[in-house]
Amino acid sequence: MGKQYETVIGLEVHVELATKTKIFCGCSTEFGGAPNTHACPVCTGMPGALPVLNRQVVEYALAVGLATNCAVNQYCKFDRKNYFYPDNPQNYQISQLYLPICHDGWIEIETAAGKKKVGIHEIHMEEDAGKLIHDEWEDCSLVDYNRSGVPLIEIVSEPDMRSAGEVIAYLEKLRLIIQYLGASDCRLQEGSMRADVNLSVREAGAKEFGTRTEMKNLNSFKAISRAIEGERIRQIERIEEGRKVIQETRRWDDNKEASYAMRSKEDAQDYRYFPDPDLMPVVISDEWIARVKARQPELRTEKLARYQSEYRLPQYDAEILTASKHLADIFEETVALCGRPKEVSNWLMTDAMRLLKEHGQEPEELGFAPQNLAKLVELVEQNVINRTVARGVFEAVFTENVDPLQYVEEKGLKVVSDEGQLRQVVEGILRENPQSVADYKAGKQKAMGFIVGQAMRAMKGKADPALVNALVKEMLLL
């Protein structure tokens, strides 16, 4: 390839909102549940049923819009998107086309190349569809409407991104903002955050955009990165071969690391959008915007600064802790109980992160109570257990959310500081290891460490390390 190409990427991100009930009826949004148990005449499209907008959906959409520097359409409307498919019980989806709730915003991302703003074209509210289940055994298709009517927002970016790195940085930033707002848990794997990638390439320096394709079915950051790379190469190859890129929707198969054409622009459906006459326009007052703004929780950037100033944490610690709203919440609640922010931070950054990795979990899945971590910190502080034992106790807190004090008592893990008992143990070790004693006396400092280690092991790690150290030193000198 002689020519240099630039990749141009825009994203359409669907986020499932964390409301308790659906967007247009009172059914629960809870995940799971037997098929069609979270369904009613409204979300199953029964004749004569009518939608009523869930106010909380507007609040969340507004909160996300304000946090992403969007302008608000204070008079916005819902439109019907008409298409036939069995997961769509009314055969139209209630969405927003003509007057979406938010538009023209931006967020700042940071990559190795530095900081950059990515524009947000619009944010609109809409309803999710049900789920089709193909029963191969019976050779029939069944529909589960539990998801039908679950509220979504779609965040459409400007085509401002130029690499997979920028896309991931954008998605991570967006995810953090939304999680911090409590508007969604944003889990890609479970589908509560879904991203479609619009991508085109053009010769470096060109003014016009190339023809773009849209890629769907991307359910992890890794898949997104791979899909972007795969599609970039595919488009460049076509251009180099003198062929044209066709405007089409493609489905990414992450196992095969290849994408397949789903439908071209020519097959694109005419959705016959028009304003939904069953819903009134949503009028958002200045006061409402002010209220949502006032309720806006501290976002990551502010938290990052505060952790360094208020808790005196190094920037590195602050970044790791605030990378997950849930982790940050646990940190703050624990510190509120036991103080010692650096100590709490160490537990979370090292032991918690290591265990998460071992269990293949995300920080959002941390399930222990801050009270228990606080107790653990206190037990160490008061020298009830030593650090070695404490790591084992933390693991029990992490996996089973145990009460550390009770656990330590039940397992007999308290520090042994009985000098008489320890003196006996050290005496025994010295007797069994005359060579080490001789080495030490010959000037090999290392030999002392060995003896201390042996003594700790004999005490199953529960001995007070300072006391053991002192005793070994004293007795070696005898």
Residues found near other proteins in the complex (CB under 8 A):
41, 44-53, 80, 82, 84, 86, 89-92, 143, 270, 272-274, 277-280
Q: CB-wise, 46 or 336, nearer to other proteins?
A: 46
For the bound state, the minimum distance from the C-beta of residue 337 to other proteins, rounded and expressed in Å, comes to 44
For the bound state, the minimum distance from the C-beta of residue 83 to other proteins, rounded and expressed in Å, comes to 9
Q: CB-wise, 25 or 430, nearer to other proteins?
A: 25
Tokens standing for 204? 């470096």
For the bound state, the minimum distance from the C-beta of residue 46 to other proteins, rounded and expressed in Å, comes to 7
Q: CB-wise, 91 or 296, nearer to other proteins?
A: 91
For the bound state, the minimum distance from the C-beta of residue 277 to other proteins, rounded and expressed in Å, comes to 4
For the bound state, the minimum distance from the C-beta of residue 97 to other proteins, rounded and expressed in Å, comes to 11
Q: CB-wise, 25 or 320, nearer to other proteins?
A: 25
Amino acid at 298: E
User: Rounded to 5 degrees, what are φ and ψ at 20?
Assistant: -75, -35
Closest listed residue to residue 180, CA positions, set 101, 31, 100, 66: 66
Q: CB-wise, 48 or 443, nearer to other proteins?
A: 48
Q: CB-wise, 1 or 140, nearer to other proteins?
A: 140
Give bridge partners of residue 249 from the DSSP assignment: 214, 263
Tokens standing for 107? 């967020």
For the bound state, the minimum distance from the C-beta of residue 206 to other proteins, rounded and expressed in Å, comes to 30
Q: CB-wise, 143 or 169, nearer to other proteins?
A: 143
Q: CB-wise, 88 or 345, nearer to other proteins?
A: 88
Q: CB-wise, 51 or 404, nearer to other proteins?
A: 51
The single residue listed with the structure tokens 């709203």 is 325
For the bound state, the minimum distance from the C-beta of residue 90 to other proteins, rounded and expressed in Å, comes to 5
**Burial environment of residue 31 by CB neighbours within 10 A (0 to 12, 13 to 18, 19 or more):** middle
For the bound state, the minimum distance from the C-beta of residue 227 to other proteins, rounded and expressed in Å, comes to 28
Find out whether 275 and 282 touch, Cβ atoms under 8 Å: no
Specify the long-range contacts of residues 419-422, CB closer than 8 Å, at least 24 apart: 419/467, 419/471, 422/455, 422/459, 422/463, 422/464, 422/467, 422/468, 422/471
Give bridge partners of residue 275 from the DSSP assignment: 79
For the bound state, the minimum distance from the C-beta of residue 88 to other proteins, rounded and expressed in Å, comes to 9
Q: CB-wise, 52 or 71, nearer to other proteins?
A: 52
Cα–Cα separations (whole angstroms), residue 375 to 198, 311, 399, 465: 50, 19, 16, 21
For the bound state, the minimum distance from the C-beta of residue 141 to other proteins, rounded and expressed in Å, comes to 8
For the bound state, the minimum distance from the C-beta of residue 80 to other proteins, rounded and expressed in Å, comes to 5
The single residue listed with the structure tokens 């825009």 is 10
Q: CB-wise, 51 or 363, nearer to other proteins?
A: 51
Q: CB-wise, 128 or 464, nearer to other proteins?
A: 128
For the bound state, the minimum distance from the C-beta of residue 98 to other proteins, rounded and expressed in Å, comes to 10
Give the CA dihedral 174, 178, 181, 183, nearest 10 degrees.
160
